[in-house]
Amino acid sequence: MLAVATWLAWLLGPPIFAARRARVDDDLRRVRTIAIVCALASCVTAALAPAIPQVAALEIAWPWDETAALGTAALRMTSLSRPLVALVPALWLVTVAATPVARLDRAGFRRTAYATSVGALAFVSDSPAVLLCCWWISSSLFIRGLAGATNPRTQRVIARYHGVAVASLAAGVAVVAWRGEADVVGLGLIMAAVAIRKGIVPFHAWIPEALDRGRIGPTVSLCAPQLGSYVAVVLVVPYASAGMLRVVAIASLLTAVYGAALALYVSDARRSLGYLFVSQSALVLAGLDCTSPDALAGALILWVSSALAFTGLARTVLALEARRGRLSLAEHHGGHDQMPLLAATFLVFGLAATGFPGTLGFVGQEMLVDGAVRTFPFLGFLTIGSAALTGLAVMRMYLSLFGGARSRGPELSLRPREKIIFAAIAAALVVGGLVPGPLLASRAEAAHRLLQQRGAITPSTRPPTHG
């Protein structure tokens, strides 16, 4: 128990500590350095989880009797959770390390740190009540983060989306607790909440809007870890009927194409980024609902890959905006030769989002496409259409942001810290794509466990993994 408590303290404590420091410390540079160290500590702690036997088998039961709303355990570490727990502090590390001191906003910084702790906590729990609380807190932090950056009307509209999502999730959890975990109405309400949070058409409009007129940082920290996918996997996929999963998968496949098409059309870099995320996020959900082991494992890989790629793309857009102001894709901004590393890493992030060979996205996409076509012989091809359009959108962004004549005025080069962060994300995507074995094994195990929960396969039928 001591080992588990220590591990949890080291996982969840550092972001909270960094947030407290940001409140009392006047020196923003020191605050950021502390935050980087804290994020690294959380990342290392999360990475050590499989090596500590008590943590690897973590399961903390509630002190009172089990109820349907609370679940069997308050905290539980599963094969699904392991990389996701590390992903949340890793994304926070990227955020704090890549943000210049001049643009560091104390309140926003604290909210991102708290959101990191809440996100990491959510991924080590499968209790509906804990997930609901984490969901609500992260949504509240996000909505408060938009204040001041966007006009009140837009903020109100986005808040309404999230209010409905939280209410829907709460109602779903309550109905499931009352009428049983396989109740169609309860699962439908939970799925509606997931659809809003993940931006499944027609509930998607808030994501491009939040990026366009809101703030990129809070939107990335809310969207990139994809808590919605986790809730779907834990609360819906094991119990939902095949018909319900089919409907969700089809809606997600259509959303993937929709998002990619709009990402290709719109002429604002932020909106395009938003639609790219809508498309990627929908692909993940489509795979999760395909109930094919390949599609499921592919979607779980794509989850990690899209989180890294989206964060990288968003940070690149922010880095460019810090130097050039608002970016329109209708013109060419130039500057490839001034920032070759940023241009190259942007291309790598984009190609990973496209599922290009040699990146982690390729592994996920390849398995997802195969599995999706097996489940939906016709509609499965929408994954290919989505990949093709995403590729075009990414190439258009790349050529617009880095191609053309040199922009006027002094062009600031990247700082060493930014270089390291961008290169590290790109390296993670490429190394993960070239040597996907360890991650794939863990994702295939998680997929197998999920299908076992659904009763789709028996324990002895687990397929081998390669790589």
Note the helical H segments in 70-205.
81-98, 106-123, 128-146, 152-179, 184-198
When asked if residue 415 is in the footprint of another protein (CB under 8 A), the reply is no
- CA distances for 322 relative to 102, 176, 207, angstroms: 10, 47, 21
SS3 43: helix
**Quick one: CA dihedral 385, 388, 389, 391, positive or negative?**
positive
Minimum distance between the CB of residue 389 and another protein, rounded to whole angstroms? 8
Task: Choose between 25 and 268: whose C-beta lies nearer to another protein.
Answer: 268
When asked if residue 258 is in the footprint of another protein (CB under 8 A), the reply is yes
Instruction: Determine contact, residues 145/210, Cβ cutoff 8 Å.
Output: no
Minimum distance between the CB of residue 124 and another protein, rounded to whole angstroms? 24
Task: Choose between 323 and 443: whose C-beta lies nearer to another protein.
Answer: 443
In 3D space, the residue among 116, 196, 142 whose CA is nearest the CA of residue 164 turns out to be 196
When asked if residue 142 is in the footprint of another protein (CB under 8 A), the reply is no
Instruction: Determine contact, residues 333/324, Cβ cutoff 8 Å.
Output: yes
Beta bridge partners of 71: 67
Among the listed residues 246, 324, 374, 449, the single contact to another protein using CB under 8 A? 374
Task: Choose between 173 and 284: whose C-beta lies nearer to another protein.
Answer: 284
Minimum distance between the CB of residue 384 and another protein, rounded to whole angstroms? 5
When asked if residue 114 is in the footprint of another protein (CB under 8 A), the reply is no
Minimum distance between the CB of residue 95 and another protein, rounded to whole angstroms? 22
When asked if residue 438 is in the footprint of another protein (CB under 8 A), the reply is no
When asked if residue 437 is in the footprint of another protein (CB under 8 A), the reply is yes
- CA distances for 145 relative to 107, 179, 210, angstroms: 8, 37, 11
Torsion of CA 296, 302, 303, 306, to 10 degrees: -160
Task: Choose between 11 and 444: whose C-beta lies nearer to another protein.
Answer: 444
When asked if residue 452 is in the footprint of another protein (CB under 8 A), the reply is no
Residue 150 gets which letter from DSSP? Answer: S
Range in contact with another protein (rule: CB under 8 A) among 35-43, 125-133, 238-246, 371-379: 371-379
The label of the residue with tokens 């930014």 reads: 418
Task: Choose between 54 and 407: whose C-beta lies nearer to another protein.
Answer: 407
Among the listed residues 50, 337, 415, 420, the single contact to another protein using CB under 8 A? 337
Separation CA 101–CA 115 (nearest Å) = 20
Range in contact with another protein (rule: CB under 8 A) among 6-14, 61-69, 175-183, 439-447: 439-447
Task: Choose between 133 and 441: whose C-beta lies nearer to another protein.
Answer: 441
Among the listed residues 33, 154, 413, 452, the single contact to another protein using CB under 8 A? 154
When asked if residue 388 is in the footprint of another protein (CB under 8 A), the reply is yes
When asked if residue 392 is in the footprint of another protein (CB under 8 A), the reply is yes
When asked if residue 464 is in the footprint of another protein (CB under 8 A), the reply is yes
The label of the residue with tokens 């494992």 reads: 297
When asked if residue 396 is in the footprint of another protein (CB under 8 A), the reply is yes
Separation CA 277–CA 410 (nearest Å) = 32
The label of the residue with tokens 């692909």 reads: 283
Task: Choose between 180 and 437: whose C-beta lies nearer to another protein.
Answer: 437
Please list every residue from 273 through 312 that binds another protein, using CB under 8 A: 292-294, 297-298
Task: Choose between 123 and 356: whose C-beta lies nearer to another protein.
Answer: 356
Question: What burial class does residue 466 get, using C-beta atoms within 10 Å of its C-beta: 0-12 exposed, 13-18 middle, 19+ buried?
Answer: exposed
When asked if residue 266 is in the footprint of another protein (CB under 8 A), the reply is yes
Minimum distance between the CB of residue 213 and another protein, rounded to whole angstroms? 8
Beta strands in 163-293 (DSSP E): none
Among the listed residues 184, 403, 411, 456, the single contact to another protein using CB under 8 A? 403
Q: Which residues contact 123 (CB under 8 A, 6 or more apart)?
A: 81, 84, 85, 87, 88, 225, 230
Range in contact with another protein (rule: CB under 8 A) among 12-20, 92-100, 317-325, 372-380: 372-380
SS3 60: strand
Among the listed residues 202, 241, 242, 412, the single contact to another protein using CB under 8 A? 202
Q: Which residues contact 198 (CB under 8 A, 6 or more apart)?
A: 226, 228, 229, 281, 282, 285
Range in contact with another protein (rule: CB under 8 A) among 31-39, 42-50, 181-189, 365-373: 365-373
Please list every residue from 157 through 186 that binds another protein, using CB under 8 A: 157-158
